[in-house]
Amino acid sequence: MQIQNNISLQPYNTFGIDVKAKQFVSISSVEDLKHIYSSSDYPNKFILGGGSNMLLTKDIDALVIHVNLKGIHIIESFDDRVLVQANAGENWHEFVLWTLKNDYGGLENLSLIPGNVGTSPIQNIGAYGVELKDCFHSCEALNLETLNIESFDKEDCRFDYRNSIFKQEAKGKYIILNVTFSLTKTNHPLKTEYGAIKSELDRLHVSNPTIQDISKAVINIRQSKLPDPKKIGNSGSFFKNPILTKAAFEKLQTNFPDVPHYKVSETEVKVPAGWLIETAGFKGKTFKNYGVHKKQALVLVNYGGATGKDILDLSQLIQTTILRIFNISIEAEVNII
Ligand code: EPU
């Protein structure tokens, strides 16, 4: 374990923002993690996973801990399903590819999501009709006060749309060490109801899709609308899709009859923030070296050299404009540091 001083965090956040960490350590064992948390040498600590869901707006005056725990293990295998445990530092998409290579089903719709396994439960990552919670079995996390390892089952995590206990009362109190998924071995239930998947499978002339075909379709869709963080800095969806009361939605629909929407419950309706941002005229807008992605308005991009403050100011301009035009508050999905 090597502690480095004054390190640029640019390679460690997908927005590619160049801020400095006062100290930095990459952790590959739970023992090292416990050592750091039991020592009085590092009073300020900051935990970094895949860096794919954060906007860094300032230097970090702390020891930045890069969770780099690796390993994938089969915990238990049954006739029809398998419990697979992946350590927190595994890259999410590489893990999904591993499951597909072994013909384990469940995560195919979540292909190509940036980030690491350990941070996936925090915001219950989701895409194309599937959320992490659908395959989640349990996770183990280090309690940073007691230094005991605690296990969380699905109920403990209180998953919701882009939300979990780790974003609420457990925030900052744990480091997730590993996640166990319950995946299918046979008769994989396929989730193709999300419109874009069906049309992409048609385009690929696939009528009886396998989980690998669905992954391919999702990869194609994502690559066609979402910028590759290796080429253009971004953090995926910058905002959450707002959930409106039925009454508020009906009022919106009177003024904007074409507004796309999804029913959440008998009393709530979700509206795509991407549509609101596009309708407000921001899609594809570029300001100096940053802006709003031209193919998906929900994604803010750093074309190179933008600061976290630039992106934050843009996000606030979008928020106030959306509030003025539609009377809707949209909330950032990424963590602003
Ligand atoms: N739309 C627009 N303009 C845009 C973008 C979207 O009008 O620029 C409208 C369209 O009507 C479209 C609808 O929004 O039909 C939905 O768009 P899309 O399918 O791209 O999904 P989204 O609601 O914008 C969510 C997730 C994405 C996820 C996709 C697919 C959130 C905050 N975002 O986006 O997640 O990939 O669904 O399931 O829920 C991420 O979290 O980083 C992310 C990319």
- Single out the residue in 225, 250, 274 at which a domain terminates: 225
Distance CA 98, CA 217 (A): 17
Query: Is 49 found in the same domain as 156?
Result: no
| pLDDT the model gives residue 1 | 86
Query: Is 59 found in the same domain as 89?
Result: no
273: CA distance to ligand 1 center in Å?
8
Query: CATH no. for residue 134?
Result: 3.30.465.10
Return the closest-CA partner of residue 65 out of 177, 231, 186: 177
| pLDDT the model gives residue 180 | 98
> Would the pLDDT of 195 be above 80?
no
Q: Which atom of ligand 1 is nearest to the CA of 127?
A: 38
Count of structural domains within the chain: 3
Query: Is 145 found in the same domain as 82?
Result: yes
Distance CA 87, CA 118 (A): 7
Query: Is 189 found in the same domain as 81?
Result: yes
Query: Is 83 found in the same domain as 188?
Result: yes
- Ligand 1 binding pocket (C-beta < 6 A) is 127-128, 226, 236-237, 240-241, 260, 272, 274-275, 278, 283, 296-298, 333
- Single out the residue in 13, 43, 67 at which a domain terminates: 67
- Give the amino acid at 84: V
Mean pLDDT (whole number) for 141-170: 96
Query: CATH no. for residue 246?
Result: 3.90.78.10
Query: Is 168 found in the same domain as 81?
Result: yes
Query: Is 216 found in the same domain as 94?
Result: yes
Query: Is 179 found in the same domain as 44?
Result: no
Q: Is 237 a catalytic residue?
A: yes
Count CA within 13 A, CB hemisphere, residue 244: 22
Tens digits of residue pLDDT in 198-246:
999 999 999 999 999 999 999 999 999 999 999 999 999 999 999 999 9
> Would the pLDDT of 178 be above 80?
yes
Query: Is 167 found in the same domain as 48?
Result: no
Query: Is 254 found in the same domain as 219?
Result: no
Distance CA 93, CA 108 (A): 10
Domain containing 42 equals 4-67
Tens digits of residue pLDDT in 244-293:
999 999 999 999 999 999 999 999 999 999 999 999 999 999 999 999 99
Kindly report whether the global pTM for this prediction surpasses the value 0.85.
Answer: yes
Q: Is 162 a catalytic residue?
A: yes
Contact 209, 198 (CB under 8 A): no
Query: Is 136 found in the same domain as 219?
Result: yes
Query: CATH no. for residue 46?
Result: 3.30.43.10
Distance CA 114, CA 50 (A): 8
Tens digits of residue pLDDT in 40-84:
999 999 999 889 999 999 999 999 999 999 999 999 999 999 999
Q: Is 224 a catalytic residue?
A: no
- Single out the residue in 40, 67, 94 at which a domain terminates: 67
**Pair of tokens at residue 120:** 């996936």
Query: Is 81 found in the same domain as 164?
Result: yes
| pLDDT the model gives residue 253 | 96
| pLDDT the model gives residue 194 | 84
